[in-house]
Amino acid sequence: MRLLQFAFAVALASGVAAILIYITGVSKPYGPHILSDEDLEALRSLQSSFQKCVSSNGLGLQAISGRDICEITLQFPSETDSKWIDPKTGEPEGLLFNLNICEAVATWEQVRNSTTILTKEFIDALPNGWEDYAWQRINKGILLNRCVNKALCMEKLSLVLPETPPYFPRQFGRCAVVGNSGDLLKTRFGKEIDGYDVVIRENGAPIQNYTDYVGTKSTFRLLNRGSAKALDKVSELYDTGKEVLIIKTTIHDIMNKMIQEIPIWNPVYLMLGASFGSAAKGTGLKALEFALSICDTLDMYGFTVDPGYKEWTRYFSESRKGHTPLQGRAYYQMMECLGLIKIHSPMRPDPNRVIKWVPDRSTVAAARIASEKLLRRVGAGSGDPLGACSIIKKQVRGKRAVVSSIRKAAIEHRKYVKETTMYPLEHDPGHGLLCTVPTS
């Protein structure tokens, strides 16, 4: 009897121990990816530089440490007049915004190594890519549902689906993204904007009659669903056929018909985007994402990022509703203080303005590695740039885009990633990549 009692006690103790070990393992803040002292120091250094940067450059914004090493609260001055009213609650937009700089660093660094153009190569490489993914990028009709009729799906997508990426990381040098804010009319940035290698614009924003303020150059134009439905009008905004049109949502029957019948002479592509947190959204952010995937440096014009705005306006039309200007301003300031962009605005008009306290590249690189561990990202802690590849496929021979002259920065990047093409896996919880590697 005593032997049975002893055996039961041992079993009970073992069970309790196992439960404690499980609880300890689950509650351990860094999970299976243990952060080293160097990792923690990198994150502390990033947070310190970031807070100083916001204080020096944020025009009244302050960055306050949050509950953990990743959380930062950007706080607007108490006298800030929030003009945006939530249509559901009737309450004005708040003055505090919680941001996760670990998530931002890890995601944006991945964007800089990836292509953001949807290709046939990507769909072919996805498991059941045509049935499980492609049909979501097409207007869903009876004949197209889940791409059971693959030939019909391919025909519909073929107008906007290149075999391989037409652009790649670091392909272009200095780039500018021009938003649509009414603030553009306060400063004549036109000549300055025209000096960039690449200029990216949004939706139906016109150039004619506003050249002193927005310039005359336009290389790419990012379109939301509404603008894509007026593709024929958008394609006339710049010299016919010159602008590359990037559609950030799905292709649909109206757009498809226009491309075939009008016709549209401009190159048209669909955007394949990374997954961001809830604090980041909108066409402006997607334009920045596209630019950061193809450009070495990026400057931003025409976004409402200065304090004291009176209303959310566009430089060419009436006021708009449905935007949250303070949230956007906070996120863009975070991007500037992570070294991703440089903001130009009426209160920051000097093109030679120095952004103080931006963390250097070595700090950002170390913080990215630590952040990936904390967030349990695919390939976290690996020094191999292919470590984040959840799906690896061989490239199709002879299908690579031929580029006559490649910038040195682009050549170095291609060596760094071992000639691999990286695609973000949309809505993937581990932020993995689909990668195509050279055949030899």
Question: Quick one: pLDDT at residue 226?
Answer: 85
Per-residue confidence band for 309, with pLDDT thresholds at 50, 70 and 90: low
pLDDT digits (tens, 9 = 90+) for 229-245: 888 889 888 887 889 99
pLDDT at residue 382 greater than cutoff 70: yes
pLDDT at residue 332 greater than cutoff 60: yes
Stretch 346-373: mean pLDDT, rounded? 94
pLDDT digits (tens, 9 = 90+) for 160-179: 899 999 999 999 999 999 99
Q: CB–CB of 194/215 below 8 Å?
A: yes
Bigger pLDDT: 283 vs 62: 62
Q: Helix (H, G, I), strand (E, B), or coil: what is residue 195?
A: coil
Question: Quick one: pLDDT at residue 12?
Answer: 41
Q: CB–CB of 295/174 below 8 Å?
A: yes
Per-residue confidence band for 23, with pLDDT thresholds at 50, 70 and 90: very low
Q: Helix (H, G, I), strand (E, B), or coil: what is residue 317?
A: strand
pLDDT at residue 28 greater than cutoff 50: no
Rounded to two decimals, the pTM is 0.88
* Best mean pLDDT range from 114-128, 303-317, 323-337: 114-128
pLDDT digits (tens, 9 = 90+) for 175-213: 999 999 999 999 999 999 999 999 999 999 999 999 999
